[in-house]
Each structure stands twice: as structure tokens, then as C-alpha cells.
Amino acid sequence: MNYEVVIPAAGRGKRMGADRNKLLLELNGVPVIIHTLRIFEADPLCSGVILVIHPDDKKTLGQLLKRYKISKVSHMVTGGEERQHSVYEGLKAAKADIIMVHDGARPFIKQEVIHRLAETAASDGGAIAAVPVKDTIKKVINGCVTETVERSSLWSVQTPQAFKLDILMNAHQQAVCNDFLGTDEASLVEKTGGKVAVIESDYDNIKLTTKEDLVFAEAILAKSGQ
């Protein structure tokens, strides 16, 4: 099942403490965004990548795509004020029946998980990558524990998130009409009553958000022999 992927890549890296887009920071001498793009470049089921960017990064990203021979980026689209708005702009350029949305700062997603997401989205309409929560979760109000939450049914959500294009586009359009800002694509589809299946991923599929995450990322690369 072929798919296209929208990759939001317009973040400015404030929580990373970086003076530039965190996706331009390097892991083992290669920019984070290139590590992520290489995953989809190597996947025969990926028919195209829609990169959603900040205008200030367009020239630099264009140079990186040429240097690292990334050929599947079909569009570089200017992002919006929020991540949700950026994804919506990317969706407007999509043509495939199955569309994925993947964080540019998650460079360790496995191809096997991507394929399972594509297959499940094709049959069920939507699917997300996630892992079971390992820690004890407590509900806290005003600095005090009010409840220990049963964790057996709790999952930590990742990306990619995969949907039939018409389902995800409709969810975004409804969000615009209702002035609704969700936490991820699945939350928009859930709002419309859509079904979202869960595909178990792995704990290496981290999102690089803080400086500490870069240390973890280097360890994952070393473990995989990269």
C-alpha cells in the first residue's frame, strides 16, 4: 500500500535551547532531518514526502536534499502558526489515498511499523504508532495526587500517524470550522467519530525535544551500528 508522508519541519528548537531549527542539528555529523528523511527515501512504499518548513530554512534544506541525495521530497510547503495548521497546509499538496504525518524530530521509526500503519489505515481508515506506558501514572491537582491511574490501557502516542486522505482532510476541515486545536492528527479524527487503530511501535522511536534527547539519540545510533 503506497503512501505519502507529511513531515512538519518548521520548529525553531526553543526547548532544545538551539539558536536554529533543531532539525538542522547534527547526529553523527548528519542533520536530524536527513536521518528522518532517509527512512522514507529507502522505503519503496513511500511515493512522496511533503516537507512543511519555515521560509528561513528553505535554502538550507534545499541544499541538504541535494547533498544527501534525497529525491522523494515532492513539495516544500510553508507552515502555519501551529503544528496542526502546518500539517493542514501539507495535506493540501497530497495526492495518495494513504497519508502519514511524521515528526521530523523522530529519526528512528522502523520500516516494519510504517508498513503496518499503511496496511491498517487502508483497511480501518486510521492508525497510530504507540507504545504501552511503563511508568506509574498519577493524576495531580494543585500539587497533590488525587488518583493513581490504571495504566494497563494507557499508551504513549508517537508518529507516524496514518489515515486515508479523505478522512484526515475532513477532520482538519472540521477542526477549522469548529476552531478546534487538537494534540495530534488522531485527536482530530476522533473528534469526528472516526476509528483510530493502534500499532505497537518501540521505545527507540523518541522525539528529539531537549538537549538530553540528543544524548539518547547518539546511544540509539551507536546501538544500531550507524
pLDDT-above-70 percentage for the chain: 96
Name residues whose C-beta falls within 8 Å of residue 192's C-beta, 6 or more positions apart in sequence. Answer: 170, 171, 174
- pLDDT tens per residue across span 124-150: 999 999 999 999 999 999 999 999 999
Question: Parallel, antiparallel, or unpaired for β 73-78 and 46-53?
Answer: parallel
Helices (H), the chain: 32-41, 58-67, 83-91, 111-124, 165-177, 185-191, 211-223
Residue 118 pLDDT > 70, yes or no? yes
- pLDDT tens per residue across span 71-83: 999 999 999 889 9
Q: Where are the domains of the chain?
A: 3-223
CATH of domain 3-223: 3.90.550.10
What does the pLDDT read at residue 81?
Answer: 87
Q: Are 131 and 202 in contact (CB under 8 A)?
A: yes
- pLDDT tens per residue across span 37-68: 999 999 999 999 999 999 999 999 999 999 99
Name residues whose C-beta falls within 8 Å of residue 215's C-beta, 6 or more positions apart in sequence. Answer: none
